[in-house]
Amino acid sequence: MKKQIFIFVFGIIPLFLEAQELNKTKIDERSQMEVLTGLCNRDGLKSDLFKSYFEPEYQSYQINNLIIDSLRKSIKNTDLSIVIVMGTWCGDSQEQIPRFYKIIDTLGFSESNITLYCVDSRPSKSRF
């Protein structure tokens, strides 16, 4: 049993070490475009590579104040944390993530409670 735990622990350490690099980019095999991968933040989305869609979408999105008021009441006094998995190559992500950030900015929601992971366009293979 100890041997299995030892192997497991040393097997996942490289995943944590790689995940620490923020806003890492690579060339996506399918799209042949540079994409963000791994742990990211808004700065990565606003970088030169991706700001062409982030900024215009963020600026043009119109906030619905009735919905914002309802959301504000719902999240008040909660320990809400949000995990987002997105692809910078994905049209839906390019549209929705800037809108999401505008909503959280309007709400005053702490960005420290948001974890953003970017993925490439490879189909995932279940390991189970």
In tens, the pLDDT along 46-77 reads 999 899 999 999 999 999 999 999 999 888 87
pLDDT value of position 51: 92
Given a contact cutoff of 8 angstroms between Cβ atoms, the answer to whether 118 and 44 are in contact is yes
Q: Phi and psi (nearest 5°) for 35?
A: -130, 155
Whether the predicted pLDDT of 120 surpasses 60: yes
- Strands of the sheet containing 24-27, edge to edge, are 24-27, 34-40, 114-118, 82-86
Look up the pTM and report it. Answer: 0.78
